[in-house]
Amino acid sequence: MRVKVFERASSLRPAGFVVGILPNALKAIRAIDAQLGRDLEDTLRPAESAANVSIFRNTGELLMQVDGRAARERYDRYGGGLFPVAWYDLQRFFAARLPPGVLEVASAFDRYEPGGADSPVTVYLRDGRTVTASVLVGADGNLSDVRRQLLDDGLPRFAGLAVWRAMRKRPAVWPVEAGLLNYADAGEARKIMTYALPDGRLTWNVAAAWPEAEVGRLGNLRYITAGHEEGTPQQKLDRCLGALGESEGGWPDHVLDLLRSTELGAITEHPLFFREPGDCEVYGRGRITLLGDAAHLTAAALGQGTSQTMEDALELGRHVALHGPTEAALRAYESVRAPAAGAVQKASADLVRCWGRLAEKWVLAEQRASEAFFSREYQVALCLAVLAAAGSNAVGGCSAGTARLTSATVQRACQQVVAGTNYAFAFDAAYSCAPTGAGGAVKLNAIVYEPLPSSGNGPQVTRVWQA
């Protein structure tokens, strides 16, 4: 199957803050590809010191300190996780593992023609190119242009916060060599979050209460559809410092110096948006679907945005494997992900409404809310097998006691697909297919999954269909 990934940015440049590959996300990545999961951990797992967290009041009082070892132990209880990871590093990791020619940068989406039952979707890019495809997956972020055409449901809900962020070199003098160093004013109406990476980089993020009537003053044209006043890069920094200036007691000099000495062109400014679960009951129509923030934008409160995208990728891949790049695959994916992601959206929206009201209890509330989703489990597809059932040339349905699919047949098929790896499958209650005609062998496809850790069962064929 041929796949193309079109990225609107002209390059994968250093940007963004930090994200978490939380336990549910890491389990989803392992289920997509076990080797990919191992490579991710080997490449991006931060040192324990990088997971240290210190939170201070803007006036200098220590509010909370968490040792990185404790954070790792917390994740390990649920199967492991990676935090914090620089967004840019994660983006580069996945981009480097795409086959050559799949990723095309400077390829902004313009519009699509949906096609029909027997005709492909046509995608028009802003540079004049057109692409035809069996399906279109809009994974284009919180203000998705694909979603705008597909659903025409307007802007997401404004969370009442403005955000500024940047990645830069760590100052020569900084309180920590690695880890999270955060500051919050009384009531946490304004926060400054910094993350020092062990390699000498530092990324910072400022979040501050912002009136909805003045959203149009915030920059970054792609976030604002009308009434924007983006101004100059200096004005972005000025708005950030102005918002922080409303906090009683000021801010530490080394933190303000960090912001002021950042290259202006590296600073991103935008409103914080989210969607309620009820806004996201429909992900797609026809040959088009949505994925990630485009489908189910969460408020940046649980740190689950990246993790939900990984769950999406797993489920979409599984249904495309089962049904091919078809409308049936897209609808099946949506039917699984809408309720699962909706639960995360609700928890995230509930928490962001408490911004400024939880004070130092915010971090603990965020951890508890996110932890509710850490225990999600996913079956790993061990192989896509081709099974041969003797005595039939058609399949009328699957039931026990008819043309049995033997473990030896499954084993041979798996060996062909997984380069000789020998899985000792045993299907006592075998999937079988009732013959509807006479003749030679009929070939069936199946995906063979390992069991969930909590099930106590052996490997299982979860779907069988005619080749």
Predicted local confidence at residue 222, as pLDDT? 40
For 96, 119, 139, the CA distances from 146, given in Å and listed in that order, are 25, 19, 8
Q: Which residue has the higher pLDDT, 299 or 136?
A: 136
Position 398 pLDDT exceeds 50: no
Average pLDDT of the chain? 79
* Calpha distance 311→80 (Å, rounded): 16
Predicted local confidence at residue 30, as pLDDT? 87
State mean pLDDT over 397-425: 40
Residue 345: closest CA among 271, 273, 277: 277
Band of residue 358 on the pLDDT scale cut at 50, 70, 90: low
Please check whether residues 167 and 256 belong to one and the same domain: yes
State mean pLDDT over 167-185: 91
| Alpha helices for 190-262 (secondary structure H) | 233-244, 253-260
DSSP code at position 99: P
Residue 33: closest CA among 390, 437, 304, 381: 381
Position 142 pLDDT exceeds 60: yes
Position 251 pLDDT exceeds 60: yes
**DSSP states of 307-329:** HHHHHHHHHHHHHHHHH-SSHHH
Please check whether residues 239 and 183 belong to one and the same domain: yes
Please check whether residues 260 and 314 belong to one and the same domain: no
Exposed, middle or buried by CB within 10 Å (0-12, 13-18, 19+), for 414? buried
165 part of a folded domain:
yes
Position 467 pLDDT exceeds 70: no
Query: Residue 347 is inside which H or E element, if any?
Result: helix 327-352
Predicted local confidence at residue 72, as pLDDT? 81
Position 308 pLDDT exceeds 90: yes
Report helix, strand or coil for 143: coil
Predicted local confidence at residue 32, as pLDDT? 86
Predicted local confidence at residue 113, as pLDDT? 97
Predicted local confidence at residue 380, as pLDDT? 60
Please check whether residues 29 and 125 belong to one and the same domain: yes
87 part of a folded domain:
yes
Report the CATH number that the domain containing residue 307 is assigned in CATH.
3.50.50.60
Please check whether residues 416 and 363 belong to one and the same domain: no
Please check whether residues 252 and 290 belong to one and the same domain: no
Position 175 pLDDT exceeds 60: yes
Please check whether residues 15 and 136 belong to one and the same domain: yes
Lowest mean pLDDT segment, chosen from 134-138, 230-234, 462-466? 462-466
53 part of a folded domain:
no
* Calpha distance 19→117 (Å, rounded): 39
* Calpha distance 34→40 (Å, rounded): 10
Please check whether residues 27 and 149 belong to one and the same domain: yes
Exposed, middle or buried by CB within 10 Å (0-12, 13-18, 19+), for 242? exposed
* Calpha distance 425→440 (Å, rounded): 25
Lowest mean pLDDT segment, chosen from 17-31, 259-273, 354-368, 417-431? 417-431
58 part of a folded domain:
no
50 part of a folded domain:
no
Please check whether residues 456 and 439 belong to one and the same domain: yes
Cα 107-111-113 angle, rounded to 5 deg: 125
Q: Answer for the pair 449, 410: CB distance below 8 angstroms, yes or no.
A: no
Query: Residue 332 is inside which H or E element, if any?
Result: helix 327-352
Band of residue 291 on the pLDDT scale cut at 50, 70, 90: very high
188 part of a folded domain:
yes
**Domain total for the chain?**
3
Q: Which of 371, 397, 427 is the last residue before a domain boundary?
A: 371
Say how many C-beta atoms besides its own lie within 10 A of residue 319's C-beta.
Answer: 22
Which residues lie below 8 Å from residue 191, measured CB to CB, with a gap of 6+? 182, 183, 184, 185, 206, 207, 208
Please check whether residues 190 and 264 belong to one and the same domain: yes
Position 362 pLDDT exceeds 70: no
Position 402 pLDDT exceeds 50: no
Residue 331: closest CA among 310, 308, 315: 315
Range of the domain at 404: 381-466
Q: Which of 243, 274, 305 is the last residue before a domain boundary?
A: 274
Please check whether residues 223 and 340 belong to one and the same domain: no
Report the CATH number that the domain containing residue 240 is assigned in CATH.
3.30.9.30
Report helix, strand or coil for 412: helix
Q: Which of 274, 294, 315 is the last residue before a domain boundary?
A: 274
Q: Answer for the pair 425, 414: CB distance below 8 angstroms, yes or no.
A: yes
| Alpha helices for 372-424 (secondary structure H) | 407-417
Please check whether residues 88 and 204 belong to one and the same domain: no
Q: Answer for the pair 178, 195: CB distance below 8 angstroms, yes or no.
A: no
Q: Which residue has the higher pLDDT, 351 or 128?
A: 128
- The residue assigned the tokens 């099930």 is 455
Exposed, middle or buried by CB within 10 Å (0-12, 13-18, 19+), for 154? exposed
Give rounded-to-5 percent helix, strand, coil for the chain: 35, 25, 40
115 part of a folded domain:
yes
62 part of a folded domain:
no
Distance in angstroms between the alpha carbons of the first and the last residue of the chain: 17
Predicted local confidence at residue 321, as pLDDT? 77
Band of residue 433 on the pLDDT scale cut at 50, 70, 90: very low
